[in-house]
Amino acid sequence: MPRSQITPLAILLIGVLILPLILSSLWVKVVTSAAIFALGAAGISVLFAQLGLINLAQIALIGVGGWVALRLNYATPLPFTVIVVIAGVATAFVGAILALPALRMRGLYLALVTLMAAGAFQILFNAFQFPNGGEGFWGVARQSAADIRRPSVAQSDVGYLRYTLVIMAAGFGLVALHRITGPGRAWAMIRQSEANAMAAGINVTFYKIWAFALSGLLAGIAGALLSGALGQLDARSFLASEGILLFALAVVGGAYSWVGAIIAGVLYKLLPALLNDWGLSADLALILFGAALLHAIMTAPRGIAGQLLGALQRKPS
């Protein structure tokens, strides 16, 4: 097995086996959140690293996944894992619809379109709220939220952390698989030149939509996992501004490697919790994120992950 595959597997094994043993209840919850948003950040990275496309609506898509998962949880007796998969696929379709403007735009204009979409979802979430066990299509009752089923192997918070880490790793694996197979090669050509890609017989429309769908799939799975982790979702968690933040952190972490997605998840969820635990305001994290983004733009175009991996690769020689 090549080293590039052994390292992630070893890290996953350590994460699944060791992390739950050494973390206290607080940090089990924090690391679960960080893993969930790392999966969401991986979706941003797919679009940014493979196609140079900016998607600021990833948090909105995570919200869509969460909405679908909650709706299915209350409306059907399906097992949680099946719900996670369906939420992922449904969100992939929504992601594919988002791709339609991307067929004609890129750069700033596409970013603005995705930001508008995120704003639209923010309004929808606020107007219709997340299902809490009520009747009807929207499933919102003016009452306390009903229970969420978790998978039988992940009833406890520790079990749920393991479950989340395994699904996160599977998500990263899916992205890696795309990179080294047909879609990855097609995306690389499209990124170089759409005209050349078309001339080479690549269906540019299809592969762009495919990339957005993959990004949406990861967001949807993350949203479903989040609903299981928290037991309910709140419209205030899915603001358009959070989408900008997660994109910025995906760039800071490094969009070209799964390590970057993990760094993004850690920065997004672990750093504020750490500051809070030290008795400092979690909002301080925003200042640190700003500094980190400047650092990434000026000195580390491949993000913190790029710097780390670069340092590791230089060491043996």
Partner 1 sequence: MKLTTTLLAGAAALCLASFANSAAADGHGPSCGLNTGEAATGEPIKVGGINGNAPPGDFSGGTDAAAAYFDCVNANGGINGRPIEYIVENDQWNPELAGQVAAKLVNDDGVVALVGNGSVVSMAVNANLYEEEDVMVMASGCAISECYESSNIVSTNQGPLPSGIGALTYAVEELGTKNAACIGFNIPNNGGWACDWMEDYMSSQGLTGTSILMDPTAVDLNSVYLQALSEGADTILLMLPAGPAIGLLKVAEEQGGRDLFKWVSPTPLYEPGVADVLGDYWNDNLYIHIELAPFDSDGADNQNWAAVVEAFGQDGDRRDTFSQSGYISAKFFVEALLELDTDSIDRATVSDAIRAINGAESDLLCAPYYVGDADRHMPNSTGRMVAYTGSAFEVVRDCFAIESSYFEPIRAQEAALGITQ
Name the minimum Å distance from CB 213 to partner 1. Answer: 27
Give the nearer residue to partner 1 in terms of CB position, either 27 or 210. Answer: 27
Give the nearer residue to partner 1 in terms of CB position, either 46 or 118. Answer: 118
Give the nearer residue to partner 1 in terms of CB position, either 131 or 220. Answer: 131
Residues contacting 255, CB < 8 A, separation 6+: 44, 45, 48, 49, 302, 303
Residue 301's CB: how many other CB atoms inside 10 A? 12
Name the minimum Å distance from CB 201 to partner 1. Answer: 47
- What tokens does 288 get? 């640190």
> Tokens 């909105």, residue?
60
Name the minimum Å distance from CB 180 to partner 1. Answer: 34
- Residues near partner 1 (CB under 8 A) are 24-26, 28-30, 33, 122-123, 126-127, 129, 132, 134, 140-145, 147, 157, 229-237, 239, 269, 272-273, 276-277, 279, 281-282
Name the minimum Å distance from CB 64 to partner 1. Answer: 18
Nearest to 243 by CA among 114, 149, 135, 92: 114
Name the minimum Å distance from CB 264 to partner 1. Answer: 16
The Cα–Cα gap between 137 and 1 comes to 49
Residues contacting 261, CB < 8 A, separation 6+: 38, 39, 41, 42, 45, 172, 250, 253
Note whether 249 and 297 are within 8 A (CB). no
Give the nearer residue to partner 1 in terms of CB position, either 9 or 123. Answer: 123
Residue 179's CB: how many other CB atoms inside 10 A? 16
Give the nearer residue to partner 1 in terms of CB position, either 52 or 151. Answer: 151
